[in-house]
Structure formats: structure tokens, C-alpha cells
Amino acid sequence: EKTRNWKPIIKIAVSGAAGMISNHLLFKIASGEVFGPDQPVALRLLGSERSQVALEGVAMELEDCLFPLLREVDLGIDAKKVFEDADWALLIGAKPRGPGMERGDLLEMNGGLFAEQGKALNEVAKKTCKVMVVGNPCNTNALICMANAPNLDKRNFHALTRLDENRAKCQLALKAGVFYETVSNVTIWGNHSTTQVPDFVNAKIGGERCTDVIDDQTWLENDFTPAIQTRGGLLIKKWGRSSAASTAVSIADAIKALVTPTKEGDWFSSAVITDGNPYGIEEGLVFSMPCRSKGDGSYEVVEGLKINDWLRERIKKSEEELSNERGCVAHLMGVEGASCV
Ligand code: LMR
């Protein structure tokens, strides 16, 4: 202990902690794979009344791993206790969609939960707490959470689109016959829904333009794009439940992207507040855009990507969808007179 230069312990609150995604993610966090090998962590696990006992089981497994970086495991079902002094809040718990549903169908069911958790974060979390929303529909849930947590900077909130980015990178790599690592600069624009826009226009493969390496516009537009937009749904159809392991990996990737400096010339996707964005996207939405980080947990939106007509038209659709979703949850954001179709 004395010979090692440990950083101060950080507190990581995780909701839906007894669920499938968490069951993959918690062990990555506790092992040091996410926050780094010199970063001790305290895990604060939030469950529901229904999952309370299961949560005790999860905690037992965490203890039994003897992870040297895991300094504390606390359990609870009251967000106001579990989120106390949190440095990070990973909001995973929510009702997932089943076969044939769109993520937006969950808005009514899950929206209230995120209003409540926003209020709890506002009261008890650190003002600097970073919030990563995973439960669907994640963009609008993040917006609801943000609206209920005015003490936290809006730029502390993220909704997860890293899973979509990873899916896009994989499909581009397979098509080009190269290794995933060589695919970079992949942006997911917009909503984590079927209107999302996986940007092959600005993507690179081996440092070259993706459209030069994959010289097949028809495939990029008509196969690749819908394949990424609907991959979550296809997985539910095949597996009978929503993605868990790959989601956990992408949450780990999304956090690592914020706590390590972004590689020169590259970026990552995250859904963040559109206020002051350089692409003319309507303000007051949580919208996936290209981001970079210095590695201190904060980010900046990357400017100057080429938005051609094909992209612009589709980005607009996702923007309209999110604007409408926001109208539907205005009552949860303390806004009156909004409309929802
Ligand atoms: C996913 O993309 O796999 C998740 O958002 C689950 C879903 O509903 O598709």
C-alpha cells in the first residue's frame, strides 16, 4: 500500500446494478479496466425493491474477486442515499424494450424514473458528477435527468451512443477486410434510435477516407446505414433480450474516452447537450456528436466535419424526433405548453 501511488478513491454510482449490463460492467470497473490501474473505486449500487436480494448476490461476487482497487461496495434502493457524493453516476436501470418495440415506446414508462434520479443527483451528488445515461430512450432520459439537476453543469451529462459507434466500426472493418483498430473518426449523429446517422462520410479507414476504401456508396447508404440503425432491435429479436455484454463494453469505452486524452486527429461519439453546438442543431437537446477529451472527464464537440446533403437531411430527421420526444416529456422537465405528436 505504501509503495503504491494510489489516487484518491472515486465513488461510482450504478443504477440497475442487479441487471445484465451491470453484471458485465461492474467487474470491469472493479478490476481497474475502466478508470485505470491506479484508481481505487467505491461502488454504490442502486437496485429496486424487486432486485434488492439479487443485488446482495452481486456484491458477494464482487467481494469474492479480491480486486485490489475495489475499496467499498454499498447497496441501496434509495437514490438519495446511493448517489451521495458520487463522482460518476451510470444510469443503466430502466425497463428495456421487447421485440417489436421502438426505444421511444419506453418514454412513458422510464421518463419518471430519470426525473426522480435527476432530483436525487441534484441534492446529493458532487457538483462535478459525470452522468452517463444508458436506460432507453437514453437521449431524452438524459435530458429529463439534466432538467431535474440544475446544480450540475449540463455538460456533465451523456447518453450512450458509443455502442452504435462500435457497431459501425465493426461493420466498416468487416466490409473493408481490415482490423477494427484501423477504423477511426466514426460519428454517430443524433438519437440512439433508428433515426441515428452513422457517418461514413467523415469516417476513416487506415487514415484514408472510408468512402475511398469502401467504394460502394449503395452499400454504405442502403445496407450499412440501416444495419447500424436497427442492430439493437435485431439483437433483441435473435437473443430474446436486449444487448448486455456489448453495451457494458461500450459504457467502459465511453468512460475511458472521457478519462484518457483522445488520440490526435480522432474523436468519439457521445450524446451531449446541443447548447452552443457548431452544427446548427437545435439547442436544448441531447444529441450525439463527435467529441474529444483532454482526459479530465470533460469534452469538447469537434468542429469542422463535412456535412453533405445526405447527412444534413438525416441529421435533421433525428433532430425532429428528439425535439418531439422532448415535447412529450415537458411535464417531467418542468416546462409547460410543449407539444407531442
Ligand atoms: C441496444 O441498442 O442494443 C440497446 O439500446 C437496447 C435496444 O433497445 O436496442
Which CATH number characterizes residue 303's domain?
Answer: 3.90.110.10
- Pair (182, 260) in one structural domain: yes
- Pair (177, 148) in one structural domain: no
Q: Domain range for residue 185?
A: 162-327
- Pair (178, 155) in one structural domain: no
Give the pLDDT of the chain (341 residues) as one tens digit per residue. 556 778 999 999 999 999 999 999 999 999 999 999 999 999 999 999 999 999 999 999 999 999 999 999 999 999 999 999 999 999 999 999 989 999 989 998 899 999 999 999 999 999 999 999 999 999 999 999 999 999 999 999 999 999 999 999 999 999 999 999 999 999 999 999 999 999 999 999 999 999 999 999 999 999 999 999 999 999 999 999 999 999 999 999 999 999 999 999 999 999 999 999 999 999 999 999 999 999 999 999 999 999 999 999 999 999 999 999 999 999 999 988 778 88
Given the residues 24, 158, 192, 331, the one annotated as active site: 192
Cα 275 to ligand 1 centroid, rounded to whole Å: 26
Cα 70 to ligand 1 centroid, rounded to whole Å: 29
Does residue 175's CB lie within 6 angstroms of at least one atom of ligand 1?
A: no
Which CATH number characterizes residue 75's domain? Answer: 3.40.50.720
**Per-residue model confidence (pLDDT) at position 108:** 87
**Per-residue model confidence (pLDDT) at position 338:** 77
Count how many domains the chain has: 2
**Per-residue model confidence (pLDDT) at position 1:** 52
Q: For residue 132, how far is the Cα from the chain centroid?
A: 5
Residue 296's alpha-carbon distances to 130, 258, 260, 262, in angstroms, are 11, 7, 7, 11
Give me the interface pTM, i.e. the ipTM.
0.96
State yes or no: is 192 an active-site residue: yes
Ligand 1, atom 9, lies closest to the CA of 232
Ligand 1 binding pocket mutation candidate from 140, 188, 243 (most atoms within 8 A of CB): 243
d(CA 34, CA 254): 9
Shortest-distance atom of ligand 1 to CA 247: 3
**Domain membership flag for residue 3:** no
Ligand 1, atom 2, lies closest to the CA of 232
Shortest-distance atom of ligand 1 to CA 242: 6
Cα 233 to ligand 1 centroid, rounded to whole Å: 6
Shortest-distance atom of ligand 1 to CA 97: 8
Quick one: angle between helices 20-31 and 52-64, nearest 10? Answer: 30
Strand 130-133 to strand 157-159: parallel, antiparallel, or no bridges (unpaired)? parallel
Cα 277 to ligand 1 centroid, rounded to whole Å: 26
**Domain membership flag for residue 281:** yes
Shortest-distance atom of ligand 1 to CA 96: 8
Cα–Cα–Cα angle for 20, 256, 199, rounded to 5 degrees? 90
- Pair (217, 99) in one structural domain: no
Does residue 243's CB lie within 6 angstroms of at least one atom of ligand 1?
A: yes
Least Cα distance to 163 among 129, 186, 131 occurs for: 186
- Pair (154, 174) in one structural domain: no
Cα 243 to ligand 1 centroid, rounded to whole Å: 6
Three-class SS state of 254:
helix
**Domain membership flag for residue 336:** no
Cα 225 to ligand 1 centroid, rounded to whole Å: 16
Ligand 1 binding pocket mutation candidate from 92, 107, 193, 242 (most atoms within 8 A of CB): 242
Cα 36 to ligand 1 centroid, rounded to whole Å: 27
Last residue of a domain, one of 138, 159, 180: 159
**Domain membership flag for residue 285:** yes
Beta bridge partners of 43: 12, 73
Least Cα distance to 89 among 8, 14, 156 occurs for: 14
- pTM of the shown model: 0.97
**Domain membership flag for residue 27:** yes
Residue 55's alpha-carbon distances to 26, 241, 339, in angstroms, are 12, 20, 39
**Per-residue model confidence (pLDDT) at position 3:** 61
**Domain membership flag for residue 337:** no
Does residue 97's CB lie within 6 angstroms of at least one atom of ligand 1?
A: yes
Helices (H) and strands (E) in the chain, counts: 12, 14
DSSP character at residue 34: T
Shortest-distance atom of ligand 1 to CA 101: 8
- Pair (118, 179) in one structural domain: no
Beta bridge partners of 275: none
Ligand 1 binding pocket mutation candidate from 21, 91, 102, 103 (most atoms within 8 A of CB): 103
- Pair (133, 180) in one structural domain: no
**Domain membership flag for residue 264:** yes
Does residue 20's CB lie within 6 angstroms of at least one atom of ligand 1?
A: no
